[in-house]
Chain A
Amino acid sequence: MIASLQIGLAALGRPVLQALAAVGRITLFALSIWSHLVRPPFYPREFLISLLQIGWFSLPMVGLTALFTGGALALQIYSGGSRFNAEAVVPSIVAIGMARELGPVLGGLMVAARVASSIAAEIGTMKVTEQIDALVTLSTNPLKFLAVPRVLAATLAVPVLVAVGDSIGIMGGWLVGITRLDFNSAVYIANTVDFLEFWDIASGLVKGAAFGFIVALMGCYFGMNSGRGAQGVGAATKSAVVTASIMILAANYLLTEAFFTS
Chain B
Amino acid sequence: MITLSGVQKTFGENRVLRGIDLTIEKGESLVIIGGSGTGKSVLLKCVLGLVLPDSGTITLDGQDVTHADRDAFLARFGMLFQGGALFDSLRVWENVAFRLLRGAQKMPKRDAREIAVEKLRRVGLKPETADMFPAELSGGMQKRVGLARAIAAEPEIIFFDEPTTGLDPIMSGVINELIREIVHEMGATAMTITHDMTSVRAIADKVAMLHDGLIRWTGPVSEMDATPDPYVQQFIHGRATGPIESVR
Contact = CB atoms under 8 A, between A and B. Distances in A.
Contacts of A126: 87
B77 A137 contact: yes
B48 A138 contact: no
Given A133-B45, A133-B50, A139 B83 contact: no
A139 B71 contact: yes
A131 B149 CA distance: 13
Contacts of B98: 138, 140
B87 A131 contact: yes
A156 B207 CA distance: 54
Contact of A130 (B71, B82, B99): B82
B75 to A, nearest CB: 6
B45 A134 contact: no
A49 B89 CA distance: 11
Contacts of A35: none
A41 interface: yes
A130 B150 CA distance: 14
- Could you say which interface size class chain A belongs to? 10 to 19
Given A130-B85, A131-B85, A136 B50 contact: yes
B81 A136 contact: no
B99 A138 contact: yes
Contact of A139 (B45, B75, B87, B88): B75
Contact of B74 (A43, A49, A130, A136): A136
Contacts of A140: 98, 102-103
A185 interface: no
A39 to B, nearest CB: 13
Contacts of A138: 74, 98-99, 102, 149
A183 to B, nearest CB: 48
B103 A134 contact: no
Given A41-B102, A137-B48, A139-B104, A129 B85 contact: yes
B190 interface: no
B148 to A, nearest CB: 13
Contacts of A49: 89
A112 B214 CA distance: 47
A133 B85 contact: yes
Interface of A: 41, 43, 49, 126, 129-131, 133-134, 136-140
3 closest pairs, A vs B, by CB? A134-B85, A130-B85, A137-B79
